[in-house]
Amino acid sequence: MTSAQRRLIVPIVCLVLGVAMLGTTAFLTLRQRGDLSAPLPAAIGGPFALIDQDGKALTDRDLLGKPFLVFFGYTHCPDVCPTTMFELTEAFKALGPDKKITGLFVTVDPERDTAPVLKDYVSNFDPRIQAATGPRESIDRVMKTYRVYARRVPGEGEDYTMDHSAIVYIMDKQGRFVSALNTQLKPEDMAKELARYL
């Protein structure tokens, strides 16, 4: 090894050791403050501006102050959506009518799910569940913030269905995502899970 090569190795080794020391210092500092044990908030949810089933403006700020559930679906859905809405209704009933919690059904099919259509649809479920629609671009934005997948599947003639995510998001009083609700549980067990955030 030449003397020139030796002169190059020394600063490289110093640099590597310096980076390692900085990393160790940062790790120890975070551990002392407890930041490593605290999970980072998931990047799910966020601001939105939609229209509720009564044709009124509805934003994420209107839901703050109490926990709320968010579920994406559409009124022409033959199975998953009505089943999930029924399960949420049963869980809300198990919680009791005085519990401050709301649900939001956001359509992935705004072309058919107008405010009057949604009003008729949610009238079949717990009154604490409201619905939201809006222009396609607004729906696409809120779907993106909740990481929701949806696409149109052609049917016969002009008919179609929507292939979409079927997650029920639990949001806390500050509008932060905390968990996905397991709708396979019994209503009483779902109610116990939701009660944790009241």
Residue 58 shares a structural domain with residue 94: yes
Count how many domains the chain has.
Answer: 2
* CATH code where residue 95 lies: 3.40.30.10
Looking at the domain assignment, is residue 44 inside a domain?
A: no
For 70, the domain range is 49-195
Angle, in degrees to the nearest 10, between helices 187-195 and 80-95: 60
Output the pLDDT for position 99.
85
d(CA 55, CA 119): 9
Residue 94 shares a structural domain with residue 155: yes
Residue 65 shares a structural domain with residue 2: no
Looking at the domain assignment, is residue 171 inside a domain?
A: yes
Looking at the domain assignment, is residue 120 inside a domain?
A: yes
Output the pLDDT for position 139.
98
Question: Checking DSSP bridges between strand 102-107 and strand 129-133, what pairing results, if any?
Answer: parallel
Nearest CA-CA partner of 113 in 50, 19, 25: 50
DSSP state of 60: G
Residue 82 shares a structural domain with residue 61: yes
Residue 147 shares a structural domain with residue 121: yes
Residue 53 shares a structural domain with residue 34: no
Output the pLDDT for position 32.
43
Residue 79 shares a structural domain with residue 150: yes
Q: Which residues of the chain have pLDDT under 50?
A: 4-41
Question: What would the pLDDT profile of 120-145 be if each residue is shown by its tens digit?
Answer: 999 999 999 999 999 999 999 999 99
Q: What is the pTM of this model?
A: 0.78
